[in-house]
Amino acid sequence: MEIVLILLGIIVVGALVVIFYVIGAYNNLVSLRNRFKNAYAQIDVQLKRRYDLIPNLVETARGYLQHERGTLNEVTAARNSAFSANAKAAQNPGDPEAIKQVTGAEAALVGSLGRLFAVVESYPNLKANEEMIRLMEELTSTENKVAFARQAYNDSVMVYNTSRETFPSNLIANSFNFTAAELFIVEKPEEKEAVKVSFT
């Protein structure tokens, strides 16, 4: 009888230890997930600022760039799709699909903005316009802030994903539906072009 009691006691204590470990690991995953979601909110704030600046930029440039309407429309369209993609991702940064949409839309926006700036170079009147200068500077500054916030977000996502994948917390992650988070990487359009090798 004694041995049975002791065994029972050990089993109970063992079970409790396991339960408490599971609770601890679960809470850890939740906290890491909250952290990267909060980090996305930082990106969101800066992106929104960018999206607010772009229509002003387009309006200021429109008067000067009568023959470049294509480029301007491209920028506006890219900005709109990036805006809605970001709004969706901000609702749920844990959804990898949503993040992929945003990074794709952002890449397109960066590309079209780059083309717009290249065009502006050949219009010295526009380049000297005060409002234009101010807007471009603010855009650059916001761009820097986005880069910084992106770095912080990617750091938090890495920590979360590592915790999610390592043993033994991956068992808990899988049982409670902790999905993998997506990194925020905006591909630069130049990098996508094939490298030209010339032997001349």
Shortest distance in whole angstroms from residue 124 CB to other proteins? 25
Cβ contact 109:86 at 8 Å: no
* Among 110, 105, 118, 119, residue whose Cα is nearest residue 140: 110
Residue type, 116: L
Chain contacts with other proteins (rule: CB under 8 A):
1, 5, 8-9, 12-13, 16-17, 19-20, 23-24, 27, 31, 34, 38-39, 41-42, 45, 141, 144-145, 147-149, 151-156, 159
Query: Which is nearer to other proteins, 49 or 115 (by Cβ)?
Result: 49
Measured between alpha carbons, how far is residue 150 from residues 45, 77, 154 in Å? 11, 23, 6
* φ, ψ of residue 194 in degrees (nearest 5): -65, 145
Nearer to other proteins, 89 or 149 (CB): 149
Nearest to other proteins of 25, 54 (CB atom): 25
> For residues 108 and 81, is the Cβ–Cβ distance under 8 A?
yes
Minimum separation from the CB atom of position 67 to other proteins (A): 35
- Work out how close the CB of 159 gets to other proteins at its nearest, in angstroms, rounded to a whole number: 7
